[in-house]
Each structure stands twice: as C-alpha cells, then as structure tokens.
Chains A and B, each alone.
Chain A
C-alpha cells in the first residue's frame, strides 16, 4: 500500500473524528465562550462520563455491537443509590455501599440481557436499545408502585400522600453523596499532566530495558511525553489552566485514578484467556465455536461485565461535581445514547474499540455539547437550534457508524464471494 493510500484509509476510517475536531474547533471559536470556562467544563464532563463510555468497550470487542442496554446498568446503580440514601449512609461509605449493591444487581441484569441478546444474534444493537426501553417500564413500575408500598422506604425519599419515589432526590447536604469521590483530593491539572508525562516516559524506559519495545517505540513515547510537557508549559496554553486567566483548573485525583484503573482493566483483561475468548468470538462465532469456545457463555460474560461497569459509571456520574440531584425517572434515559455516540466519535466502530478512542470520543463529543448552544445562538440567533443540533449529532453519529459498518461488511461479503467464485473456477 502506498503512503498516500495509507493516509486516505486513515482519514476515511476516522472521518467522523476529524469532522468532530473541525466542528468543535469551529464552535469554540464562534461561541465566543471563555477558553478557561470551556476547558474547565470539558474536564468536568470528561471525568463525569469517561467511566460509562469505557464500559462499552468489552461488548464491542466481543462482537455484540454497542450495548445500549447499559441503561439497565445505570438503573441498577440508581436502585443502589436510592437504597443508600434511604438508609442514610453518606460519604465514601455511601458510594461503596451503592457500588456493592450495584455489583450483584448489575451482574444479574447483565446475565438476563446476555441470555436475551443470544437469542437475537446480529440484531444486538437494536435489541439492546429496545431492551433498555422495556427495562425503563419495569424501572418505573418498581419506583412508582413497588418501592414505598411493598418494599418500605423512609418518608424522605417517597412522595407524601402517594405511592412511589420522589421525582428528584437530593444528593447534597445531609445526604452527603455529592462529590463524595471527586472531593477527596484535587490536584492542579498541569501538575497532573506533568506526572502523567513522567509516568509515560518512565514506563517506556522500563519496557525498553526489559526489551518488550523497540528503540523506535521508545523514541516515540519519550517524544510524546516531552511534547505534552512542553506544549502545556507554553505560556498561552498554560495560562488557560494555571489560573492566570480565570480559575486554576484542578482534577479530582481519585476519580481519575479510577478511570485509569478501568482503562488498565480493559487492556489487561484482553491479555487473559477470557480476553482472547472475547476477541475470538468477536471475530467469528463459527471459528470460535469450532475451537471449543462456549460462544454464548462468553457473550453473556461480556455483557455482565459491561453492565456492572456501566452501573459503577453511573454512580461516578451521579456523585460528580455539578450534578447534585438525582432525577429518579430520567437520569438513566440518555446514558446509552450519549455514551454510544461518544465512543463512536472517538473513532471506534461497531466491532472495534480502544480505551483511547473512548477517552478521545468523550472529549470531542462533550466539547461540542458545551459549545453547541452558544454557537447556535451566535450563528442563528437562537440557542434552541443548538439543542436540536446536539440531539441530531448524537443520533446521526450512531446512524453513520451503523451504516459504515453495514457497508463495509456487505463489501467484505461481496469480496469473499468473488474470491470464492474465482477459486472454484
């Protein structure tokens, strides 16, 4: 393949990503929003959403497409949070309790989802979407008619004079779940960045010394680390973060450690036997089956992991800075849509996804999210257009990704048939 062809292939593969880079740059400029404000909002949303988006990776690799049923994981988390609030456990113990409740619930729901999706192979994306809608009905049944009547709850979470849980639950104040994880420790963004660059460089050196990577890779890694450190030290860029213009931007330390831990989990599990199974099933169920892998069981495990992780992601989202309330009947509704759109924006497709794609995608998707309204009111004199544009982007990105995937597999099928025809001749 020539160099030019390589570039073309790369651009066509990441077309959506580049489009989003262009659009978000345009929007940031047009909206006239303060860059310090944009940066702080963006980081805030990144640490809020990254966890859930990362939860999508394993099912994608296992060939089950975008698991829109992560909304069900979010519902499990919300059951956990409700019980935690009900029992009055606050702070880090509260979050741990909610996570502990989410684990068995999410695993159980994931098991059921996996079983059902095994009955609709090839239609997992739409199946999980509709399953999410269906579960929303069951969730409402639970929260409106079963909680507070059959399962007794305290009066501080139920509607007075009617059955069911309140529309909005407060997480701040006495409840004490607001920023329970985010608030443990903060470090300035630039410090975090330098540490990150240093760790990157150190890891590369260690790997080189243990001879697992080549000199070329070492040079690239060291160069990247140095470039990161230098670029963010440049006065105009550093000024955005270090407080000389606006406020000092800080990162919630523990939240980011958890996000990085999840990235590590995602990449480590791929090196285990289970991870190999995921990959094998994702590439071809027939081949995997022939080589003795229990395909259905592997798929169920992938969905179970994804559901539990999504549930924990929802807890991270709920406790995060700037949320503060828990919309009992709506908080889970858009989870699947936004997470799915975000990972696709990062360059993932229906059958391939990496940690980096998830993080980049979340970053790009939310940069548009923050700026769309202001940009639209500048461009069209109406901020509502921005709101609709956001919705259009979310759905549109998913539609385009699905179309490109279907297109590619149709072409592969055609090519395969041609090859077969030629061989038989």
Chain B
C-alpha cells in the first residue's frame, strides 16, 4: 500500500515537473514575441502604418455617420409612406417595424457601396489636418483630465463626508454661504485654482439637499405603507370603499396617517391593491419599508455633470473647434455629401471623430485598438497588419509571459511552497499577483487600489484578530463572535444616543461594547465547554439566533434620541446609522498621509498594530501559553495541571471582547453602523480571512491575521475593480467573494474532519 502511495506521489511530482517546463517554454516564446513587439513599435515603418490606419479610421468614421444618416432618412421615409397607406392600421407593430428595417438596410447597403473606399487626392493636406486635430485634442484632453481629477477629489470628499445636505445648503442661504459651509468639509474648494468650480458645487449642494428631502419623504411614505399593510390583516372590511371614504376609515384605524395627507395617493393605491386581492381571497405580502440609508454605502464615484472647465480649457476647446473645421473641409473635399449634413448630425460626426483621435491616451495599443474598431485595418497591406497586431500586443504578451513564468515557478517548487505556506495561502497569493498583473493590463491604478486595501485592512483587521484567541483556546472558528459584534454595536448606538462625538465617543463605544460582551462571552463559553467537538456548528447557530433575537431588541430597546430612531413610530432603532459628525473615519484620518499617491490610514494601522502586538505579548505570557496548550492538546494540558475549561473560557471571552472592539473600528472606517441582520455574516468573513492567512481550525498566529486580512481584502478590492472593467454590473466580484470566502472555510473543514472526531 505504501509503495503505491510513493509511486503515486512520484508520478504526480513528475507530471508537475513536465508541466512547469512546458509553461517556462511558453513563457519564453511569449517573452520573445513581446520584445519583438516593443522593437517594432520603435520602427518608422510601423509608425507610418499606424498613421495610415488612423487616416483610414477617420474616413471610415466620417462615412459611417453619413451612411447612418442616409439609412435613417430612408427608414423614416418608408414609415411615412406606410402611414399614408389606408391599410396602415391593419398591420401590426412588428410588421411595420420589419418593413421599415428592411428599407433601412437596403439604403444602408447602397450608401456603403457608394461611399466606402473614397478616393483621397490630397493625402498630405488630410494627414496634416488629422495631425493637428490629434495634437490639439491630446493637449486639451490631458488638461481636462487634470482638471477633472481636481474636481473629483473635492466631489468625493464632499459626498463622502457631508451627511446632512439640507443643513449645508439650507433654503435661503446665498451661494457664498453655501461655499463657506462646503469649505468646512473640503477646504480645497476655496483654493484660487478651484474658483471656477464653485458655482458647480453650489448647484451640487442644492441638488443634494433637494434629493435628500425627496428621499426622506419617500422613506416616510414607505414606512407608512409598511405600517398600514402590517397593521391591517383583514382587508375585506374595507371592501367597496374608495377615495376620501377609504382614507377616513384608514385614518380612524391608524392615527399615524393624520398629518400625512401628502402621501394619500400612494397609500390609497396600495390599499386598493390589497382590497382587490382580499376580495379575490388572496393575501398580498406586507410591504417592507426600505432603508434608504443603506443605498449610500459603497465607494463614491464623481459625477461630472457639475464640472465647470477653466477658461484655459474652454479656449483649448475652441481650438478643437478650429481644428475640426479644418479637418471637415478636407473631408468634404473627399466626400462632398458630408457638406450636406445638418447641425445635429455634424455634431455626432465630430464626437465620433474625437473619439477616434483621442481615446484617452496616446498609448500604442490603445490607439491600435481604437483604429481597429473603426475598420482601420483596411489601409494595411500584406504582412503589415500582422506586424502591427504583434506590436499592439507587446504589453499583454509581456504580462502573460510573467504570469506563465510565475505559474511554472509555483508548480516547480509546489511541495516546498505548500509545506511552507499551505495550499490555500499559496493559491490565493498567486491569484492576488495575477490580479495585480491584470490591473496593469486594464490600466487600473494599482496604487490607488493599494490605498483601498490598506483602508480595508484597518476596517477588518481587529475583527479578524478576534478569531485568533478562539482558535488558540480550542473552540475553533468562533462564528459566534457576532455576539461580541452586537455588544460593540450596542456601545456605538449608546454613544449616538448620548450625542457623543470624537475620540470620546470612539473610546466610550469600545469600552462599553467590551463591557457588554464580557458577561455574554462568559455565558457563551460555558455553553461551548459542554459542547466539545461541535463548537463550530453550535456557535454558528447560536450567533444567528442571537442576531435575530437582537433584531427584536433593536426594535424594543428604549432609545429615544430622534436622530437614531424611526421618526414615525417614535421608537425602534434605524437600520443604518451614519457616523459622520460622530466618529466616522476618525482613526483613519489620524496622522494620515499620502505617499506615492497611496493614502495611508495611519491611525487605523497603528491601532491594528498595537492590538496585534498586545495579542502577541499575551500569547507569550503564562496564561497565553497555557491557553494554547489547552487548545492544541487538551488531554496533555489536563495532565500537566492546566484547567482546560477555564482556559477555553478565557479564550472565548477574549475573542468576544475583541470582536466588540473590532466592530467599532469597522464602523468608524466604514462611516456607518449597521444594525439588525447586518452583522450576521461577519463571522464568516473573519474566519475566511484568517484561514487564507495560513491559520487552521486549531492553530493561529498574529502573522496569519495580518497576511490573511491583506490577501483577502487585496483580492476583493482588485477583483472588484477588474471584474467591473471586464463585465458591466457588480455581480462578478460578489460571486468571487462568496466562492472564495466559503470555499476556504470548506477546505479548512475537510482538513480538520478526521482529526476532530476521536
């Protein structure tokens, strides 16, 4: 049997060796191709060919506009003709559409035959016109990018940090006053260089205030509807009533409706729906009130509709105008019918020409791809198209070669690596490096994303640290750390209730959260001590149950600060609490600085570092060593006089308390505290992070926490950006998160499966 195993391992090793050699060979070929691509880029003939492609693409874009306009004209002419026909009404919509489309396609084919392959007589003049327009566009484009970046920075600062726009831009405030109010959040707005942006931001503030008002109204309407549908069980009683009569009866039943007549129409509409259903013997589900606060969560992207260009940029844009006129003259000489285009079509022609000549950068492969998309390859003959293709792929080939080489290396040293780092950590680390390469390929700023990763490390770091004492003391992955999270949230809400701000609020939330979690964690540990061997299953469900129990708690606890409760019913905490004005980003902003364009959240990192250091010290102390011993080998520990149950209690309580502090830190980095069902999955996130860092269900070190949180968050941040640029819509990154996070926990379970079942 053991011989077979040895043989199998040897076979596996052999096939890995061969695979890695093949990968190295492939990587070598790609590297050579890439180098030759870069060399080709430098040659004059490639440059000339690229210019030829550009001309062809420009002509193509021009004719395309013309052909489109002819086709559209033909289509509307056909439609008019059909309308005039007396049988028009008998035809279905689909039939009419298909007839018109057929006419359009016919006209398009004819026009294409006529205008494609236009004859260029004065090539030099056309070339120079294109050249001028490109250079003008590039100057103004770069200027615009710079100005927009300055704008975006202020925009994000404002939108991220202002919670109450109705206060910032209250009615009756003049523009100067609004600017003053905005400058409190974003001082850069008053810089001399940004004066031109001010009117835009005033408009933004006013719009945001209006949107906030609308949102609040919608929220109140949603709450009223939810309350109404929840309170009335039997709608048949209202059968036959309508309009004012229905309203009166409803208001008699539900006094909250009085004074809210502005929502009458929406409420009556919902009521009518329910009545109709009740009459048919059906029941509609209760309408859940949406929590509008939740929508603001997520990364802010600048909205450029409030952007105002500087005079310089405006002048550059005028130059563009002149360059376009010059180019247009040339184009009309080649295709006389272009001169006939009316204003609207001319504008669209200009837009498409600008897109061809300034695709955002003058990078070789970007230009090549843009020209190709416009049919620029028509200008190339023979081998030229292949040469250019190779030149354009130089970067991709280089990155691909690096990727293959890495894979080859990892396979080659597979046994050493996995023995040293474990399978999951090796795979995830490799994946992370690949994501970095992909980011480079998609021109996504790696630096900015590294900043994001650091931010999210401070956010999740302490929560992940909470997993460590649990693993060390032998209860495994402490999924019930949500108990600690809820204690921490209770601390935050208390600090909001007492209107505390700044570091005092942060400290109070941490301390009171830890205080609440102490007795809870103790009771929880007593439970787990009687459930040895089943801790993870039980802690998961105890955590889930506690979260749902506290959902009722959040509704019933006697908080009464109007800022944090549902206004309408006058009780029950809201779901999402903005911490702006309390302690949002307080630690992260503390001593924070920018280096190489990376935002370093110094305070948060320091805090995480201090926590990790204390934890490290603790695990070297007498108690810490005893705890680890009790966790890794309970029988031996018992024999050497360690009270195993006591040590498990210490570890569990510690884990719960760190989780309480962790959620406070998480909320300050996030800017929001989320109650109710929000903390339910936090245990899973923390567990997968520490496992990725190299921990197992029975062993964990501080380094596992730090590496794990960096790799996990790194993969998520990079993955999200890249997924967004590959596929529209955010779904892919979420799928990746779910699969990585749960996959790693499953892996850990399979590794522990046999061992824990003695």
Please state if B282 and A407 are interface contacts (CB–CB under 8 Å).
Answer: no
Q: Which of A127, A133, A391 contacts B548 (CB 8 A)?
A: A391
When distances are taken between beta carbons in the complex, the residues of chain B under 8 Å from A164 are 729, 731
When distances are taken between beta carbons in the complex, the residues of chain A under 8 Å from B734 are 140
Closest to A31 in B: B233
B543-560 contacts to A, CB under 8 A, are 544-545, 547-549, 551-552, 555-556
| B1 CB within 8 Å of chain A | no
| B386 CB within 8 Å of chain A | no
Please state if A402 and B534 are interface contacts (CB–CB under 8 Å).
Answer: yes
Closest to B750 in A: A119
When distances are taken between beta carbons in the complex, the residues of chain A under 8 Å from B226 are 384
- Distance in angstroms between the alpha carbons of A137 and B732 in the assembled complex: 9
When distances are taken between beta carbons in the complex, the residues of chain B under 8 Å from A396 are 545, 548-549
| B234 CB within 8 Å of chain A | yes
When distances are taken between beta carbons in the complex, the residues of chain B under 8 Å from A381 are 569
Q: A32-B233, A123-B537 are in contact. Are A392 and B549 (CB under 8 A)?
A: yes
Please state if B731 and A385 are interface contacts (CB–CB under 8 Å).
Answer: no
- Distance of B692 from chain A, by nearest CB (Å): 15
Please state if B729 and A162 are interface contacts (CB–CB under 8 Å).
Answer: yes
| A398 CB within 8 Å of chain B | yes
Closest to B728 in A: A162
| B93 CB within 8 Å of chain A | no
Please state if B729 and A130 are interface contacts (CB–CB under 8 Å).
Answer: no
| B754 CB within 8 Å of chain A | yes
Among A31, A32, A138, A403, the one with the most B-chain Cβ atoms within 10 Å of its Cβ is A403
Please state if A130 and B745 are interface contacts (CB–CB under 8 Å).
Answer: yes
| B177 CB within 8 Å of chain A | no
When distances are taken between beta carbons in the complex, the residues of chain A under 8 Å from B743 are 134
| B215 CB within 8 Å of chain A | no
B567-590 contacts to A, CB under 8 A, are 569, 572
- As a 0/1 sequence over residues 387 to 401 of chain A, the CB contacts with chain B under 8 angstroms (1 = contact) are 011011011101100
- Distance of A389 from chain B, by nearest CB (Å): 6
Interface-facing stretch out of B123-131, B149-157, B302-310, B525-533: B525-533
Among B234, B281, B527, B735, the one with the most A-chain Cβ atoms within 10 Å of its Cβ is B735
Interface-facing stretch out of A54-62, A73-81, A189-197, A372-380: A372-380
- Distance in angstroms between the alpha carbons of A123 and B538 in the assembled complex: 10
| B230 CB within 8 Å of chain A | yes
When distances are taken between beta carbons in the complex, the residues of chain A under 8 Å from B738 are 133-134, 136-137, 140
Please state if A403 and B538 are interface contacts (CB–CB under 8 Å).
Answer: yes
Please state if B536 and A123 are interface contacts (CB–CB under 8 Å).
Answer: yes
- Distance in angstroms between the alpha carbons of A164 and B533 in the assembled complex: 42
| B739 CB within 8 Å of chain A | yes
| B746 CB within 8 Å of chain A | yes
| A287 CB within 8 Å of chain B | no
Please state if B538 and A384 are interface contacts (CB–CB under 8 Å).
Answer: no
Closest to A124 in B: B537
| A121 CB within 8 Å of chain B | yes
When distances are taken between beta carbons in the complex, the residues of chain B under 8 Å from A129 are 540
- Distance in angstroms between the alpha carbons of A222 and B113 in the assembled complex: 91
Q: A121-B757, A134-B738, A396-B549 are in contact. Are A406 and B538 (CB under 8 A)?
A: yes
Please state if B548 and A395 are interface contacts (CB–CB under 8 Å).
Answer: yes
Closest to B569 in A: A382
- Distance of B557 from chain A, by nearest CB (Å): 12
Q: Which of B234, B531, B533, B727 contacts A403 (CB 8 A)?
A: B531
When distances are taken between beta carbons in the complex, the residues of chain B under 8 Å from A121 are 753-754, 757
When distances are taken between beta carbons in the complex, the residues of chain A under 8 Å from B556 are 380, 385
Q: A392-B552, A406-B530 are in contact. Are A374 and B749 (CB under 8 A)?
A: no
Interface SS of B by simple majority: helix
- Distance of B510 from chain A, by nearest CB (Å): 27
- Distance of B750 from chain A, by nearest CB (Å): 4
When distances are taken between beta carbons in the complex, the residues of chain B under 8 Å from A141 are 732, 735, 739
- As a 0/1 sequence over residues 276 to 292 of chain B, the CB contacts with chain A under 8 angstroms (1 = contact) are 00000111001001000
Q: Which of A384, A391, A402 contacts B555 (CB 8 A)?
A: A384
- Distance of B256 from chain A, by nearest CB (Å): 11
When distances are taken between beta carbons in the complex, the residues of chain A under 8 Å from B541 are 395, 398-399, 402
| A120 CB within 8 Å of chain B | yes
When distances are taken between beta carbons in the complex, the residues of chain A under 8 Å from B537 are 123, 125-126, 402
When distances are taken between beta carbons in the complex, the residues of chain A under 8 Å from B643 are none
- Distance of A230 from chain B, by nearest CB (Å): 29
| A410 CB within 8 Å of chain B | yes
- Distance of A41 from chain B, by nearest CB (Å): 8
- Distance of B681 from chain A, by nearest CB (Å): 9
Q: Which of B230, B281, B286, B677 contacts A247 (CB 8 A)?
A: B281
When distances are taken between beta carbons in the complex, the residues of chain B under 8 Å from A125 are 537
When distances are taken between beta carbons in the complex, the residues of chain B under 8 Å from A407 are 530-531
- Distance in angstroms between the alpha carbons of A140 and B319 in the assembled complex: 50
Q: Which of A31, A130, A380, A399 contacts B545 (CB 8 A)?
A: A399
Please state if A399 and B746 are interface contacts (CB–CB under 8 Å).
Answer: no
| A232 CB within 8 Å of chain B | no
- Distance in angstroms between the alpha carbons of A389 and B736 in the assembled complex: 32
| A22 CB within 8 Å of chain B | no
Please state if B533 and A137 are interface contacts (CB–CB under 8 Å).
Answer: no
Among B537, B555, B754, the one with the most A-chain Cβ atoms within 10 Å of its Cβ is B537
- As a 0/1 sequence over residues 143 to 173 of chain A, the CB contacts with chain B under 8 angstroms (1 = contact) are 0110000000000000000111000000000
Please state if A395 and B545 are interface contacts (CB–CB under 8 Å).
Answer: yes
Q: A392-B548, A398-B541 are in contact. Are A116 and B742 (CB under 8 A)?
A: no
Q: Which of B282, B552, B742 contacts A388 (CB 8 A)?
A: B552
Please state if B572 and A392 are interface contacts (CB–CB under 8 Å).
Answer: no
- Distance of A384 from chain B, by nearest CB (Å): 6
When distances are taken between beta carbons in the complex, the residues of chain B under 8 Å from A380 are 555-556
| B542 CB within 8 Å of chain A | yes
- Distance in angstroms between the alpha carbons of A407 and B572 in the assembled complex: 37
Among A34, A125, A164, the one with the most B-chain Cβ atoms within 10 Å of its Cβ is A125
Please state if B555 and A388 are interface contacts (CB–CB under 8 Å).
Answer: yes
- Distance in angstroms between the alpha carbons of A144 and B729 in the assembled complex: 10
| A300 CB within 8 Å of chain B | no
When distances are taken between beta carbons in the complex, the residues of chain B under 8 Å from A31 are 233
Q: A122-B757, A127-B746, A399-B545 are in contact. Are A322 and B282 (CB under 8 A)?
A: yes
When distances are taken between beta carbons in the complex, the residues of chain B under 8 Å from A127 are 746, 749
Closest to B555 in A: A385
| A29 CB within 8 Å of chain B | no
Closest to B553 in A: A388
| B756 CB within 8 Å of chain A | yes
Q: A402-B537, A402-B538 are in contact. Are A116 and B231 (CB under 8 A)?
A: no
When distances are taken between beta carbons in the complex, the residues of chain B under 8 Å from A391 are 548, 551, 677
B652-709 contacts to A, CB under 8 A, are 676-677, 684
- Distance of A326 from chain B, by nearest CB (Å): 16
Please state if A33 and B233 are interface contacts (CB–CB under 8 Å).
Answer: yes
| A131 CB within 8 Å of chain B | yes
- Distance of A171 from chain B, by nearest CB (Å): 15
Q: A144-B731, A395-B548, A406-B530 are in contact. Are A382 and B750 (CB under 8 A)?
A: no
| B752 CB within 8 Å of chain A | yes
- Distance in angstroms between the alpha carbons of A144 and B572 in the assembled complex: 37
Please state if B552 and A134 are interface contacts (CB–CB under 8 Å).
Answer: no
When distances are taken between beta carbons in the complex, the residues of chain A under 8 Å from B545 are 392, 395-396, 398-399
Q: What are 30 A-B interface contacts by the 8 Å CB criterion?
A: A121-B753, A122-B534, A123-B753, A126-B749, A127-B749, A129-B540, A130-B746, A137-B738, A140-B734, A140-B738, A141-B739, A144-B729, A144-B731, A162-B729, A381-B569, A382-B230, A382-B569, A383-B227, A383-B230, A385-B556, A388-B548, A392-B545, A396-B548, A398-B541, A399-B542, A399-B544, A402-B538, A403-B531, A403-B538, A410-B532
Given A141-B735, A162-B729, 4 other A-B contacts at CB below 8 A? A131-B742, A133-B738, A164-B729, A377-B230
B residues apposed to A, CB below 8 Å: 226-227, 230-231, 233-234, 281-283, 286, 289, 527, 530-534, 536-538, 540-542, 544-545, 547-549, 551-552, 555-556, 569, 572, 676-677, 684, 727-729, 731-732, 734-739, 742-743, 745-746, 749-750, 752-754, 756-757
Closest 4 CB pairs of A and B: A383-B230, A137-B738, A120-B753, A388-B551
